[in-house]
A and B are shown apart, each in its own frame.
Chain A
Amino acid sequence: MPMLEVRDLHVAFPQGKTDEVEALRGVDLHLSKGERLGVVGESGAGKSMLAFAILNLIAEPGRVSDGEIIFHGQNLLDLSEREIRRIRGNRISMIFQDPMVTLNPVLTIGTQMMETLRAHRRISDAEARRLCIEKLKEVSIPSADSRMEAYPHELSGGLRQRVVIAIALLTDPELIIADEPTTALDVTIQAEIMALILKLCREKDVALILITHDLGVVAEVTERIMIMYAGKCVEEGPTRQIIDAPRHPYTYGLLRALPQKVGRGQRLYQIPGSMPPITALPSGCAYHPRCERVTDRCRREIPELGDGTACFSPLTPVEAAS
C-alpha cells in the first residue's frame, strides 16, 4: 500500500457570485515510502495548489471540492484542524521557495527550532537544544552552535534555506514537500541545496515531493515525474523514461525547448502560444490549441491519464527518441 495516495482531487475557487473555477481538475498521485516524486509544470499549472491541498492549506476562498487524500490509510480531508496539525509539520514537512515564509524574522534560529520541536515532542530544553544543533550540523551549517543565536537576516539566502531544511527534518518526517526550494537561489547554491536534499532523503529514507518548473532539477533528484498542465496531470512515469522518451506532446515540447538539448546556433523547438488561464480553458484536451498532433477527438473529449499519458495520440517511442 502506498504511503500517500491522492485520488481525483479537485480544488475550486469561486468566480463571481455563483460560479466556480477549478484550479485542480482531478489529480491522482501515489507515493511509496522513501520515493522521490517530481511535480513539474509552468506557472498556473496547479503544481503548488496540489502541495497546499495535500497539507489542507488551501487559502480561502478556495476549497477542495472533491477527492481523497489518503495518508497511511487515513483521509486527511476528514481530519479536524487539530488532528491535521499533528501530521503537518511533524510527519509531513514543507520547504517553501522563500525561506522567510518559514522563518520568523524577529526570533533567533534556535528559538524557532526549539519551538517547532516542542510543538510535537515532549522533551527537555537541553535535549531539544542538542537535537537542534545536531540537525543544523546535518545540513552542514558551519559553527552550528553559535548559529542558534543568529537571526534569519544575519544569514545568507543559501544558509537560510539550509536552516529551513533543518527545521523540516527536526521531527523526522516521512515525507517532505518542497515547493520550488531553490528557485530564488543562485546556480551554485541551488546545486548545494539540491545535493543536500537528495543526500538526506536517501540516507533517512524520507519520501519527497519536489515541485518545480525545472526539468533539469527533477531529472537530477527524483525517481518519478508528474507533468502538470492547466490543473491536470498530463503525463506520469519513471523519471528516466519520461526524460528519454516522453509520450505526451507537451512533455516532448518542454524537453525540446531546453537550450541544453540543441546545439549552438540551432533554433530551439518552440511550443506556440501559452498555457490558458483556468478561467478560460478550451474544450476537450486543454493542450490541444498548442498541440501539433491535435485530432478532432482532442477538441471534443478530455483525455484521461491511462497508462502514463493523458493523450489521444501520444508519441511512439521512435518519435519520442528523435
Chain B
Amino acid sequence: MITWRGVLSRFLGDPVAIGAGVVLLVLVLMAVFAPLLAPQNPYDLMQIDIMDSEMPPAWRAGGDERFLLGTDTQGRGVLSTIMYGTGISLLIGAGAVVVQAVLGITLGLIAGYRGGWVDAFLMRLADIQMSLSTLMIAIIVLAIFSAGFDANTYADYAIFMLILIIGVAEWPKFARTVRSSVLGEKNKEYVDAARVIGLPPRRIMWGHILPNTLTPVLVISTIQVAEAIMTEAALSFLGLGMPVDRPSLGSLIRSGFEFIFSGSWWITFYPAMVLIALVLALNLLGDWMRDVLNPKLRRGED
C-alpha cells in the first residue's frame, strides 16, 4: 500500500524529482499570477507600441530595461507574452487531459468490467482512433474550422476547440490503462464480496474498482499533459492553434520564427526554452511517479 507520507519522503529524497517539481511550480505560479507579475499586458492594445518592436533583450545594445527579454514584431515584451502564453499552454494541456480522462476512464471502466462484445467494440474503436495520428486529425478539423468561420470567431473558440480535439483524439491511452487495471481488479475477492451484497454494477465499477485503478491514471495524466502541450505547440506552430493575439507558447515560437535569420532570435528562443523546461519537468515527474507508484519496481517496503 502506498501512503502519501511514503510518496512525500521518496520525493524529498530524489533531487531530480525536486528539481522537476520546483521548475513546474515556478512555471505554474508564473502563469497563474501573470496579470500581477507581468511588466506589460500583451492583450492590452493601449500598452503596446509598434515603435518598440524587435528590441533585443535588455542587456544587449539597443535593449530597453522595460523589456527584459526584448520585444516581438508587434512591440510586445517577450517576457510578458511568455508569462501569459505559459498559462494558455497549461490550460490547454490540463483541459485536454481532463477531457481524455473523463472519456477514457468511463469507456475503459465499462470495457473492462462488462467484457464480451462491449469490450471488443470499444477496444477496436480505440485501435482505430490510435491508428490516426492526433496531429493529423487536429490539422484536418482545425483547418475546416478556421476556413468555416471568420477570424474573430475562430480566435474566440480556438482554445475550446484545441482542448476538445486533443482530448478526444487521445482518450484511448486512458481507456487502455484503465481497462487493463480493471481486468486485474475485477476478479479480486473484494469485488465478489460487493456482488454478494447485491450492489448494482454501476456502484461496483465506480465505487470499488475505480479507486483501485487510479494510480496508473495519475502517472499517465502527468505525461499526457506534457504531450497535449506539445501537440498544441505543434499545431500553433503550423498556424492552426492559438491566434497571434492570444498566443500560447507554440504561437509565440511561430511568430518569431521568420525573424530568426534577421537577427531577432530572442522572439523564438525564450518561449522555446520555457516550453522545453515545462515539458521536460512534466515528463520527469511522470517518470518519477511511475517508478514510485509501480509496485513491480518497488522493493523491500510494503
The finding on whether chains A and B are genuine partners in a shared complex, rather than unrelated, reads yes
A interface list, Cβ under 8 A from B: 13-14, 61
- Shortest CB–CB separation between residue B8 and chain A, in angstroms? 14
B200 on the A face (CB < 8 A): no
B62, CB-defined interface residue at 8 Å: no
**Cα–Cα, bound, A13→B301 (Å):** 11
Report Cα–Cα, A152/B164, bound state, in Å: 51
A-B contact pairs, 4 of them (CB 8 A): A13-B300, A14-B300, A61-B299, A61-B300
- Chain B residues within an 8 Å CB radius of A14: 300
Using a CB–CB cutoff of 8 Å, the interface residues on chain B facing chain A are 299-300
Q: Which residue of B lies closest to A13 (CB)?
A: B300
Query: In chain B, what residue has the closest Cβ to A60?
Result: B299
| CB proximity of A19 to chain B, nearest CB, Å | 12
In the complex, how many angstroms separate the beta carbon of B54 from the nearest chain A beta carbon?
54
CB-nearest residue of chain A to B301:
A15
Rounded to whole angstroms, the CA-CA distance of A14 and B299 in the bound complex is 11
- How many Å lie between the Cα of A182 and that of B299 in the bound state? 27
A114 to B299, CA, bound (A): 34
Chain A: minimal CB distance from B40 (Å)? 49
Rounded to whole angstroms, the CA-CA distance of A61 and B300 in the bound complex is 8
A13 / chain B contacts, CB cutoff of 8 Å: 300
Q: Write out the residue numbers on chain A whose beta carbons fall within 8 Å of the beta carbon of B299.
A: 61
Q: Which residue on chain B has the smallest CB distance to residue A62?
A: B300
How many inter-chain residue pairs (CB < 8 Å) link A and B?
4
| Assembly CA distance A14 to B300 (angstroms) | 9
B302 → chain A, closest Cβ, in Å?
Answer: 10
Given the complex of chains A and B, what is the CA–CA distance between A13 and B299 in angstroms?
11
Q: Which residues of A contact B300 (CB under 8 A)?
A: 13-14, 61
Query: CA A13 – CA B300 in complex, angstroms?
Result: 8
Q: How far is the CA of A61 from the CA of B299 in the complex (A)?
A: 9
Q: How far is the CA of A13 from the CA of B302 in the complex (A)?
A: 14
A43 → chain B, closest Cβ, in Å? Answer: 13
Please indicate the chain B residues that have their CB under 8 angstroms from the CB of A61 in the complex. 299-300
User: Nearest Cβ distance between residue B255 and chain A, in whole angstroms?
Assistant: 50
Of all chain A residues, the one with the shortest Cβ separation from B9 is A16
Q: How far is the CB of A221 from chain B (nearest CB, A)?
A: 33
Smallest distance from the beta carbon of B194 to chain A beta carbons, Å?
27
CB distance from A207 to the nearest CB of B (A): 32
Chain A residue at minimum C-beta to C-beta distance from B13: A17
**CA of A70 to CA of B299 in the docked complex: distance in angstroms?**
30
* Closest beta carbon of chain B to A317's beta carbon, Å: 42
Which of chain A's residues has its CB closest to B299's CB?
A: A61
4 A-B pairs with the lowest CB-CB distances in the bound complex, closest first: A61-B300, A13-B300, A14-B300, A61-B299
CB distance from A84 to the nearest CB of B (A): 23
CB distance from B161 to the nearest CB of A (A): 51
Q: CA–CA, A181 to B126, complex, Å?
A: 45
> How many Å lie between the Cα of A14 and that of B301 in the bound state?
10
| CA of A61 to CA of B301, assembled, Å | 11
| Distance of A7 Cα from B299 Cα, bound (Å) | 29
The CA-CA distance from A267 to B16 in the complex, in Å, is: 58
Name the distance in Å between A24's Cβ and chain B's nearest Cβ.
16
B280 to chain A, nearest CB (A): 28
Q: How far is the CB of A220 from chain B (nearest CB, A)?
A: 33
Please measure, in the bound complex, the distance between the C-alpha atom of A215 and the C-alpha atom of B240, giving whole angstroms.
74
CA distance A41 to B300 in the complex (A): 21
- Closest Cβ of chain A to B9, distance in Å, is 9
Q: How many Å from the CB of A273 to the closest CB on chain B?
A: 20
Residue in chain B with minimal CB distance to A59: B299
Smallest distance from the beta carbon of A147 to chain B beta carbons, Å? 33
Q: How far is the CB of B5 from chain A (nearest CB, A)?
A: 13
| A17 to B, closest residue via Cβ | B13
Q: How far is A20 from B135 in the complex, measured between Cα atoms in Å?
A: 52
Minimum CB–CB distance for B190 against chain A, Å: 21
A141 to chain B minimum Cβ distance, whole angstroms, is 33
Min C-beta distance of B38 to chain A, whole Å: 43
B1 to chain A, nearest CB (A): 14
Give B299 Cβ to nearest chain A Cβ, in Å: 8
